[in-house]
Amino acid sequence: MYGNQRVLVLGMGDSGLSACRWLDAHGATVTVADSRQSPPQLARFQQDMPHMTLHLGPFDDMIFGGIDYAVVSPGVPISDPAIARAIARGIPVIGDVELFARWIATWPSKVIAITGSNGKSTVTSMVGHLCEKAGLKTVVAGNIGLPVLDALEACEEDRADGAGYPDVFVLELSSFQLETTQSLRCESATVLNVSEDHLDRYDGMDGYAAAKARIFAHSKVQVLNQQDVRSLGMQKPLQKVLTFTLNTPTDPNQFGLLDQGKGIQLAKGNTPLFPLIDLPLAGLHNAANTLAALALIDGADIPLASVLPHIRSFKGLAHRVEPILTLNGVTFIDDSKGTNVGATEAALKGMTEPVLLIAGGDGKGQDFTPLRDAILQSGKAVYLIGKDADAIAAVLAGTSIPLSRHDSLEAAVEAAWSNAREGDVILLSPACASLDMFRNYAHRADVFIEAAHAIAARTQG
């Protein structure tokens, strides 16, 4: 399929390396470029693929000479001047998800695709868990961690061993990935919600939402959030639509919460499905996530009866409103994956205890104003770190919420602990990216967890 193709791969992150491996294994002639002089995976690339031509430093027009198309990594903006000029000259620019989509176009496997500003990793993991527990051969990949082409390579190896095709691919897709995807065909797909994020890359919310909406280009069933204006506004006239809401369902194709006098149930239309009280994940935002997952599964023609018994065994994701420990009645909760305002807003609104919030980092151009009401609802105090600490402080000006700024996350945790009382929650939910202070959100979580355990060892020792 790739034997006579000359391909330029842009970016040496995980997906870029995955694309290089895939294309190389299938006979393409690959050149790879990275705008950084010393990308973090350079040594690995040189070890694994020493025969490939490598360009380092700012992109220029010369690297696009003599190629059939370019494969751009999600972290590389297609607005880069050299890439934009290549597109204007008619050079195709695609992503690894598009390579994946073209390869599986004739496979019998179903594809369920998830995007959104918040909740997409939880919903992706939940759908994957429920499908697998229902006995389906399931592959979960994409923005959630496993590059789609690495997943595809494993599937090809399974097929060679006689294991056949997967029953279902469950894909988490970012707006960056969707920008360069044209032909992905899905049984069901969703944009869970749209809130401010990545505005350092997009020209406003309309551009960001439009990138998300590309997930519906070839989807048989759209799953839309009845309570999110932008998600609901993506409805396409010729596609079947299922919706989800935290209100009572108003039609047979709506998933919501139903109270028939025997406790609130997750429901489809008037049909009860699962008791709200038995959800393994706390917070109404997780009820919405579960409803979205069920709508996606239903939209893919997978019987709901086969998955409902397995909701109880889903344990959620690391670093997403994850309790770490409870010390003297104070609970430390890690929500380091809350990297935008909407995620932190949802985490705060899901809390029933007083919250000492640790927030801050690189806000990527977001408007922090929505945090104000959420903090006033459940916040007891706010401890700010990172590049945009002052911007968060500004939206809380004039409130009675105590604020303090700290040079390190460890110092913020210590300050929160000194003010915490029995029944309080110390919540790390930064509403910001981590790269101004940490390698990534997982590193930020590790520092928070280590600080919490250090306090526990000191207090209990």
φ, ψ for residue 29, nearest 5 deg: -95, 115
Q: Tell whether the model's pLDDT for residue 4 goes beyond 90.
A: no
Region 363-381: mean pLDDT is: 93
Per-residue pLDDT tens for 376-430? 999 999 999 999 999 999 999 999 999 999 999 999 999 999 999 999 999 999 9
Please give the pLDDT value at position 198.
63
Choosing from 110, 118, 120, 319, the catalytic residue is 120
Is the confidence at residue 197, as pLDDT, over 70? no
Over residues 103-133, the pLDDT tens digits come to 999 999 999 999 998 899 999 999 999 999 9
Residue 367 phi/psi, 5-degree rounding, is -90, 120
Across 237-254, average pLDDT: 96
**The pLDDT of residue 93:** 97
Answer yes or no: is pLDDT of 201 > 70. Answer: yes
Question: What mean pLDDT is predicted for residues 144-164?
Answer: 92
d(CA 266, CA 248): 9
Strand pairing report for 138-142 and 168-172 = parallel
Q: Is 280 a residue whose pLDDT tops 80?
A: yes
CA distance readout (Å), 208 to 133, 211, 372? 34, 5, 23
Percent of the chain with pLDDT over 70: 99
Annotated active-site residue 118? The verdict is no
- What is the rounded CA–CA span in Å between residue 42 and residue 419? 45
Catalytic residue among 110, 118, 143, 319: 143
Q: Which of 198, 212, 268, 285 is catalytic?
A: 198
pTM score: 0.84
Q: What's the confidence (pLDDT) of residue 461? A: 64
Which DSSP string corresponds to 324-385? Answer: EEEETTEEEEE-TT--SHHHHHHHHHT--S-EEEEE-SB-TT---TTHHHHHHHHEEEEEE-
**Environment class of 301 (CB within 10 Å of its CB; exposed 0-12, middle 13-18, buried 19+):** exposed
Per the model's pLDDT, the better-predicted residue between 138 and 204 turns out to be: 138
Q: How far is CA 88 from CA 92, 295, 369, 401, in A?
A: 9, 40, 38, 52
Question: Residue 55 catalytic?
Answer: no
**Structure tokens belonging to residue 393:** 């402080």
Alpha-carbon gap, residue 35 to 318, rounded angstroms: 32
Per-residue pLDDT reduced to its tens digit, 26-54: 999 999 999 999 988 898 889 999 999 99
Other beta carbons within 10 angstroms of residue 82's beta carbon come to 17
More confident residue, 267 or 337: 267
Alpha-carbon distance 118 to 113, whole Å? Answer: 14
- What integer is the mean pLDDT of 86-108? 97
State how beta strands 271-275 and 379-384 pair. Answer: unpaired
Is 4 known to be catalytic? no
Interior/surface letters 107-144, b for 16+ CB within 10 angstroms, e for the rest: eebbbbbbbbbbbbbbbbbbbbbbbbbbebebbbbbbb
| Res 349: pLDDT | 84
Question: What pLDDT score was predicted for residue 199?
Answer: 64
Residues 286-313 have pLDDT tens digits of: 999 999 999 999 999 999 999 999 999 9
Which tops the pLDDT comparison, 198 or 130? Answer: 130
Q: What is the mean pLDDT of residues 265-277?
A: 97
d(CA 199, CA 342): 13
**End-to-end CA separation in angstroms for the chain:** 63
The confidence score (pLDDT) of residue 121 equals 92
- Beta-strand runs (E) in 26-151: 29-34, 53-56, 69-72, 93-94, 110-115, 138-142
Mean pLDDT across 141-170:
94
Residue 404 near residue 357 (C-beta atoms within 8 A): no
The pLDDT assigned to 342 comes to: 85
pLDDT at residue 228 tops 90: yes
Strands (E) located in 79-155:
93-94, 110-115, 138-142
